[in-house]
Structure 1
Amino acid sequence: MRRFRKIGASDLPPPFPNGWYCILESSALGPGEVQSVSCLGEQFVVYRTKSHEVYVLDAYCPHMGVNMGIGGRVVGDNIECPFHQWSFRGSDGKCVNIPYSSCVPDNSRVRKWMTKEVNDNIFIWYHSEEHNIPWELPVVEEIENKELVFLGRNEFYVNCHIQEIPENGADMAHFAAIHNVNFLAGGINANKSNFAKTGTHHWKATWTSSKSTAKHIALISLTHSLELIPKVHIFEMDVIGHQIGPSYVQLHLKSKTFGNIEILQTVTPIEPLVQKVVHRFYARRKIAPIMKLFVCAESIMFERDMVMWNHKIFRNKPHLVKEDSSIKAFRNWYSQFYSENSKTFIDVRNNLGW
């Protein structure tokens, strides 16, 4: 159905901006395991050695074109093709062994992707300019040292351009429009629910680009409370969100009642207008029961945005009022992740026969 949707193709920016992308959660890849991952217009083979090192290579063997992520075997630091047992080194993608041949062609290699495993996610550096130097991915120390533990996740597939999702954080007016209604009213047609008047979420939000030298980081500051009856507020918390590049958000929640909570959002383009969005939740183990409510509430709020994203078109030149200044600022900031060499949507559309 997406082929028949009026998506405003001529207005769309490139579908895959430059930056770090999560292609797999760490828990999905044990020692000696291999995964095939399709995203960003590429096919990857991702594997972990027995010494826990993670490598990401182009999936297709240069010999006969087999996808090494399907049935490939980890041998030391190498991935072995299941078809003819050609073996490729994880550190540089070079073929190092052909069991039935006395020599290995010097030019026999697959592309090796720059990889980082941090905060329980496996990221690759994707950039249209091959030798561009990547920025560092911030580490959440409380996650790395297990002070905060993993307590839940959700996963969504959204039909929109990737820019629509992070832009939501800079769209201040939408909070009152769709997120004030109590989460118990659900994600779709919330205003028609019997729970719509059982409480009101209150939000105060600001969005700014980073004042530091880290130009790839933007900040969103939120205060939240749920008003059950007039002047009776619960779930009061402060939220600082770090938008890191085009596809990764670290949300730091502080609550006097529940302590510190971390939510990590990753957005991965599966194809030009399909985004995989995952939220992972971390907190102290003692609040595990209440975290089920947090995961539920956040998922419902996200579904309300999905209703909009799944059916809207991208406006390259939207009609804005002065109160929409943060949207304009966001677009200026986000534009740094596109470059002249990026794949254009028109190219991708033509390749897909749209």
Structure 2
Amino acid sequence: MYGSDNPDFIGRTRRSRLIGLKELPPPYPNGWYCILESSLLKPESKRYVSCLGEHFIIFRSIDGQVSVLNAYCPHLGANMALGGRVKGDNIECPFHQWSFRGSDGSCANIPYSYTDRKGIKVRRWICRELNDNIFIWYHSEQKKIQWELPVITSIENKDLIFHGSNEFYVDCHIQEIPENGADLAHFSAVHKTCLFASEQNPDKSLLLKYAQHRWEAAWNTSPSPKSHIAVLQLTHYLQMFLKYKMFKIDINAKQVGPSFVHLDLKSSVFGQIDILQTVTPIEPLVQKVSHRFYARRVLGPMVKLMIFAESVMFERDMVIWNHKVFRNTPLLVKEDIAIRRFRVWFSQFYTENSMSFIDARKILDW
């Protein structure tokens, strides 16, 4: 587990950054969100997850079907994920044994009553299980699915195997994280210093004279006809003694909606590596970010090194995110055109009626 998940720390930093801030974008853009890793949900088991301002019960039937419902029973409000039982396609409430179908959320049984159950139900959430994760469709106005997540065939077909993951809790608005990819100037400013340099003052590290990370980046929405996809092209290499280029990696990063990124890495040293990034808003200013790494089995040791390297680089961004404010109207120069284009592209995930920005003071009430 990487990053700070201390509630007191999160509370202090969140409040300090809201001083003088009047506006924030809506906290939960519309789209698909990962709410659980598939491996954490065995047949006939259930999980409770709180995120996106909602409370979910996620359960798997004996035949492997996943369902997501509102966690609280409409009868007397018990949390069905805590003590409830999975029975077939149903979840049974632990308080009075009311049961609800995973297929549509309707009440399947009230053991002590002959009352007509028509109309008794809990909300069922549209979900998909793919790429080793469970996703739900979230829309602030409960509109139907507008696009689907891509299936990563190398993962689904087991051509590449899972090697490990990292997990961070970041104290910022969700838009800050994908916008980082369009902030091309930050790669040299934040990520140039060798990953083994001192975290406290990396620019003064002696390693800076011998090894530097170099980045070539371009961000675009035009390569894909699907408006919900944006593409970041990155080339990374390690420059030794300010002269020799080593460990070149070409990265094709597809941002799909507000919260899912597929990074396709190709390297003569590492071979092919796929990284899946998911961002899930736990609270309006607390994001859970996970990266899952996939490669051929023989690349295990190299992938472990890459997980370490990616974690170090991500934590450098976290230092900024955890202590910055969101600028609704940032002062940009012409070289920041990718950020401007990103903000236009990302605005599609905010509901038109909710585009009036929320008062940041309300965040304190969540």
Looking at structure 2, the residues matched to 104 and 233 of structure 1 have their Cα atoms a distance apart, in angstroms, of 73
Partner of 1:333: 345
1:241 is aligned to 2:245? no
Looking at structure 2, the residues matched to 32 and 348 of structure 1 have their Cα atoms a distance apart, in angstroms, of 41
Partner of 2:40: 28
1:61 is aligned to 2:73? yes
Partner of 1:161: 173
Partner of 1:81: 93
Letter in 1 for 2:310: E
CA contact (8 A) 1:125 1:134 kept: no
Within a 5 Å distance, the mapping from 1:121-136 to structure 2 comes to 121-136=133-148
Partner of 2:9: none
Within a 5 Å distance, the mapping from 1:105-144 to structure 2 comes to 105-144=117-156
Looking at structure 1, the residues matched to 22 and 119 of structure 2 have their Cα atoms a distance apart, in angstroms, of 39
Within a 5 Å distance, the mapping from 1:189-208 to structure 2 comes to 189-208=201-220
Looking at structure 2, the residues matched to 40 and 345 of structure 1 have their Cα atoms a distance apart, in angstroms, of 17
Looking at structure 2, the residues matched to 140 and 197 of structure 1 have their Cα atoms a distance apart, in angstroms, of 40
Deviation for aligned residue 1:259: 1.3
CA offsets per residue over residues 55-109 of structure 1, 9 Å max, x none? 1000000011011111221100011111111100001100110111123432211
Looking at structure 2, the residues matched to 301 and 105 of structure 1 have their Cα atoms a distance apart, in angstroms, of 54
Moved more, 301-310 or 128-137: 128-137
1:149 is aligned to 2:150? no
Looking at structure 2, the residues matched to 257 and 6 of structure 1 have their Cα atoms a distance apart, in angstroms, of 43
Deviation for aligned residue 1:187: 4.8
CA offsets per residue over residues 87-132 of structure 1, 9 Å max, x none? 0000110011011112343221110000011100100000122233
CA contact (8 A) 1:184 1:196 kept: no
Which TM-score applies when normalising by structure 1?
0.95
Looking at structure 2, the residues matched to 74 and 107 of structure 1 have their Cα atoms a distance apart, in angstroms, of 22
Moved more, 14-23 or 69-78: 69-78
Deviation for aligned residue 1:342: 4.1
CA offsets per residue over residues 306-332 of structure 1, 9 Å max, x none? 000000000011010000000000000
Sort the Cα spacing of 1:141 and 1:283 in 2 relative to 1 into closer, same or farther, 3 A.
same
1:90 is aligned to 2:102? yes
Sort the Cα spacing of 1:186 and 1:334 in 2 relative to 1 into closer, same or farther, 3 A.
farther
Deviation for aligned residue 1:2: 3.6
Letter in 1 for 2:275: I
SS at match of 1:185: coil
Count of residues paired in the alignment: 354
Deviation for aligned residue 1:346: 3.7
Q: Percent identity?
A: 60
Structure 2 unaligned residues grouped into runs of 5+: 1-11
Looking at structure 2, the residues matched to 6 and 231 of structure 1 have their Cα atoms a distance apart, in angstroms, of 42
Sort the Cα spacing of 1:186 and 1:281 in 2 relative to 1 into closer, same or farther, 3 A.
farther
Looking at structure 2, the residues matched to 352 and 180 of structure 1 have their Cα atoms a distance apart, in angstroms, of 36
Structure 1 unaligned residues grouped into runs of 5+: none
CA offsets per residue over residues 212-232 of structure 1, 9 Å max, x none? 331000000001111122432
Partner of 1:273: 285
1:212 is aligned to 2:224? yes
SS at match of 2:316: helix
CA contact (8 A) 2:126 2:136 kept: yes
SS at match of 1:143: helix
SS at match of 1:304: helix
Deviation for aligned residue 1:353: 3.4
Moved more, 95-104 or 12-21: 95-104
Sort the Cα spacing of 1:198 and 1:168 in 2 relative to 1 into closer, same or farther, 3 A.
same
CA contact (8 A) 2:221 2:229 kept: yes
CA contact (8 A) 1:238 1:254 kept: yes
CA contact (8 A) 1:21 1:268 kept: yes
CA contact (8 A) 2:211 2:238 kept: yes
Deviation for aligned residue 1:193: 3.9
Which TM-score applies when normalising by structure 2?
0.92
Partner of 2:319: 307
Letter in 2 for 1:264: L
